[in-house]
Structure 1
Amino acid sequence: MNHDRSIATQIVALIQAEGLPVGAHLPAQMLADKLRVSRSPVNEALALLHEKGVLTREKNRGFFLAQPVAAPAAEFASQLGLVEPDPATAAYFQIAEDLLQGTLETQVSEQHLRQHYGLTATQLSTVLKRIAQEGWGERKPGYGWAFSSMLTTPDSLLQSYRLRLALEPAALLEPTYRLEPQAIERLRAAERHLLEGGIETDSADQLHERGVRFHETLVEASGNPFFIDTIRRVNRVRRLLSYRSMRDRERYPEHARQHLHVLDLLARGRNEEASQAMREHLLHTLNALAQISRLLEP
């Protein structure tokens, strides 16, 4: 059933992306072509959406849209019960939380992790692979896993911002700086999506990735490999703590507006002003984080 739910969720997203009106015909072959899957899972997903009341079915004619998909697609799919929590993702966040709370040792065996978080070997492998890629845990020879103690203090997040405060405004002033117009448009679209409701509906993962993509794209445009390598390392390390700070999303609309302001300045070649705006943006975040540091305390 999981696969049908996944395809059904993709169909809901497609209906919304294309702005299909109530009564629109949804031919299985057209959907299969767009989603690059065979017709069989599409037919099962359509039947599931019919069951949920999203579609009507007409004999010999197929499926038609029965109600508008007004909410963001992810939220709509969630309301329909199409989105099942992924145990590996849930365990990933729980391990992070337990480390920050100090209730998980920084050195543990895989067996302990499997039993404690109720995971299969495959699920645990997925979680640990992700943690290793992000650089806050590593396999120990013959013992299990060691997690970075650097990430278990609220100060770590603030210190990572101090480094970024020194680095990012400077990157915008590099003589080789060039940010492509299509990159600017892509970043603008991501910020507009947030201001149009994404702040409430996006997952912590999506919010974090959007922020990382914005800042890394701007630094990459400097063409300076030392700046680029440093920002990527810092972003890997701060991921854990920044997830935690996302419990408070009130600051995100202002963030998105500040990002758009920096992009407007860069689009007009006003890098000096963009550098100053970036500095103010990071200071604003740093001050906000200091104020919400209670969220980061165990």
Structure 2
Amino acid sequence: MPEAAFSGSIKRMSSKKPQLTATDHSRDSAGLRYVYPVVSRRAGGVSVGINLNTNNACNWRCIYCQVPNLQRGSAPPVDLHLLERELRGFLNELLHGSFMHDNVPPEARRLNDIALSGNGEPTSAAEFEQSIEVIGRVMDEFRLNGTIKLVLITNGSLIHRPSVRNGIRKIAQLNGEIWFKLDSATAQGRMLINHSRQTTETVLKNLRVAASLCPTWIQTATFALDGQPAPADERRAYLEFLARCQAERIPLQGVLLYGLARTSLQPEAPRLSKAPSAWLEALAIDIKQLGLAVKLSI
């Protein structure tokens, strides 16, 4: 499809869509395969999402996940040419067309970042490194390098792969950062929340590698399960894990701490609710006392 026609299709689609909100992260909001815009609570503006997991497959299954029909597995082959065309066309409409005005609330009409997140673990794509190269090339065309961030939202489980490490190095060169998922610091908690069998030592090793390659934030989801927030032993293990990171001088940027904003589409959804604000705020204070920055999104 020619670029002009591609941009025109986005314009026609955007006029029919309701305004984006922080509680709607639909991957098809722009009618594209790989590219979708969201209003991000944590980013404080528009985040252009990149969804490499178009088959709704992930190597984890988090009980708060909003992905419909989630399955265990890896990303399918990525059409790099289509990814590049979609990103170029959408950024052109976002920055120079009417999409921002037509679809984004006034207070959020700023482009904050491009984020690899989507419907599964993005680093599971065989073309992960090449996808970063494509994104970097398009960012160069729009002179976005150094003005916005490229964010990788990841569970960090595949960082042992050379291609993933190479891709992360490229993200660092693009003013990028990693949001590294850590919802529990115990084996029992990770199995319950993420359905992951990773040991705490493996998580720590992967986090250490991530932070050595690219600026890295820990990202933690909090919620109440069966009406109760995380029990005392889970909270204590989490804070001890962060304290160990500090003791070992792992160069973390801080912690992104957030509560539930959207409804889970997993079987456990009826058991989930927001954690009390006071509980979240108290946890944020405890984290700050360890010397780490905290960004709290209740």
Pairwise same-fold verdict (TM > 0.5): no
Q: TM-score, normalised by structure 1?
A: 0.22
Structure having the higher strand fraction is 2
TM-score normalised over the length of structure 2:
0.22
Structure with the bigger percentage of helix: 1
Larger Rg: 1 or 2?
1
